[in-house]
Amino acid sequence: MARVLPPEVGQVFAELHAAAGSEVRCEAEVVEVNGAGVCLHGGERMEADVVVAGIGAGPNDSWLAGSGLEIRDGVICDETLRAAERVYAVGDVARWMHPIYGSIRVEHWTSARDHARVAAANLTAELAEASKAVQIADGVPYFWSDQLGIKIQAAGWTPGTDVVHVRQDGARRLLLLGRADRLTAVMALDWPRELALHRRKLAAEVDFAAAIADAPGAPIDTPN
């Protein structure tokens, strides 16, 4: 997960999967998949009945080449999701200017939903030449998932994280991520109340040290 998360966070998830009986192999390059299983670079063969490939995704924007829109890993938009006159982009394909995080592209259901509301309001206002203020796409990115019976929630923006602090209370964990002394993202494992509390702090751009001071549970060391 190193593309989007710091190693300390990847380590937390690797430990969860290892405890559930999975073997995590990082930087193991697959050179062939055949009827017998998977062959790794270096000659190792792993037997397999089923192979699941999760190899990432990219924005489907190539069909817009030559349209006059600016395309750069997504459709480039301003903070109102406007890409050009009467053209707005929403969801995974939109790379927009977020007022806190700068130029970002987010692949979450909640962002697609929030974008749709903002873009529809702004497009109809533009078409009606209304004078009312345009809406800004300033939602804090948020997603949830379920793995190994654990509810995983994350809010904020994780790339560029330079500090991570982990709290534990029984099986519950709270991970605070920061950059340049600011709290920039929070992740919670089976701790929805703390996720909700810290999610609000992200929009207010609170100080990282202040966020740690307020966090519940016991601090745990994370290997770097």
Q: Which residues bind ligand FAD (CB under 6 A)?
A: 57, 60, 63, 91-93, 107-110, 112, 143, 145
**CB-nearer residue toward ligand FAD: 151 or 182:** 151
CB-CB neighbours of 196 under 10 Å: 13
Nearest residue to ligand FAD on Cβ basis: 91
Nearest distance from C-beta of residue 41 to ligand FAD, angstroms: 25
Nearest distance from C-beta of residue 109 to ligand FAD, angstroms: 4
**CB-nearer residue toward ligand FAD: 81 or 211:** 81
Contact (Cβ atoms closer than 8 angstroms) between residue 156 and residue 204: no
**CB-nearer residue toward ligand FAD: 115 or 173:** 115
The token pair that represents 60 in the structure block: 């489907």
Alpha-carbon span 174 to 198, nearest angstrom: 10
Nearest distance from C-beta of residue 40 to ligand FAD, angstroms: 24
**CB-nearer residue toward ligand FAD: 31 or 196:** 196
Alpha-carbon span 169 to 213, nearest angstrom: 16
CB-CB neighbours of 32 under 10 Å: 11
- Residue 168: beta bridge partners? 173, 218
